[in-house]
Amino acid sequence: MFYDAQSFSVEHEAFEYAACSDIEEEYYIGYDEEEVGHVDFKQKRGVPTLPDFAGNITFPGIYAIGADAIVGCKRDLPVFIKIFKSLPLEIDLDAPQTSIYPKDDVQLGVQNTLICHVTGFYPPSVNISWTKNNVNVTEGMSLSQYRPRTDNSFNIFSTLKFTPAEGDIYSCTVNHKALQGQPQTKIWACDFSTHEALVLHNRASMVEGFFRNLPPSTFVQEDEGGKFSYNEKGRYNLFLPSINCSCGKTLPVTISDLVESGYWPATVNFETMYMVDLFATYE
């Protein structure tokens, strides 16, 4: 047996980060801008932060390494404070970019976690708050440590445990110096109304007409109107709406969805019968 093998060289970057103040201490390690573990100094232990699929990976000795790094940070802290006090007061401000999304697929009545990701801001000081149906909530909320990026800006995660119920509306509000008193708010709504199944013309009930299944190789392009155009060799055109759900998901209709449901686009003389309103039921 013979194998044709090729080798590739890919650069990766491992890093460690230590920070301290008179009242705070942070230490974590990462890989390619992604944290893989940090130290909880209150509980005096290392905390792996790899995803579940990575398996049971630990970092022996990370607490001792982090503690030593903080000793050095505290030792140098007076020097850095003196240096920063001598710098000009004017600094460049970078406004945050915020997104909100659920950790897992949403199911009514099943506990989940909302994630508010705030990134690209400088300096590293933001205020994050949550509301449920316009009422401030703090129970079930947690906040990560500030994480530096390679462009010298920072990001941070805030999470909120919640149990989805139809009609509930959650918001994450971020305040930062660069926003100049105009907080940034992102909204997530528990709305299942747009997840109803799409039903097209059932081919079994169509007496006249030409039926053809558009294959997976069909060319797909989104136009400015938020619709997807499926085109094969310039002959078959089918325009399907792209659903923007208030739950934060974009739900473009796919050909595979139609085929699996037993419905094919119905065409007559190589032209699609239903060019726009494909959400009506034809049975």
Residues of the chain with CATH 3.10.320.10: 14-86
pLDDT at 16 over 80: yes
Question: Cα dihedral angle (131, 134, 139, 145), rounded to 10 degrees?
Answer: 10
pTM: predicted TM-score of the whole model, two decimal places: 0.56
CATH topology of domain 97-190: Immunoglobulin-like (2.60.40)
pLDDT for residue 118: 94
Residues of the chain with CATH 2.60.40.10: 97-190
Say which residues have a Cβ less than 8 Å from residue 137's Cβ, sequence separation at least 6: 130, 131, 160
User: Could you tell me which CATH number the domain at 14-86 has?
Assistant: 3.10.320.10
Q: Which residue has the higher pLDDT, 69 or 278?
A: 69
Cα distances from 136 to residues 109, 130, 192, 266, in angstroms, run 21, 6, 24, 51
pLDDT tens-digit readout, 219-273: 434 444 444 444 444 433 444 444 444 444 444 545 444 444 444 444 333 333 3
- Band (pLDDT 50/70/90 cuts) for residue 89 is low
pLDDT for residue 83: 83
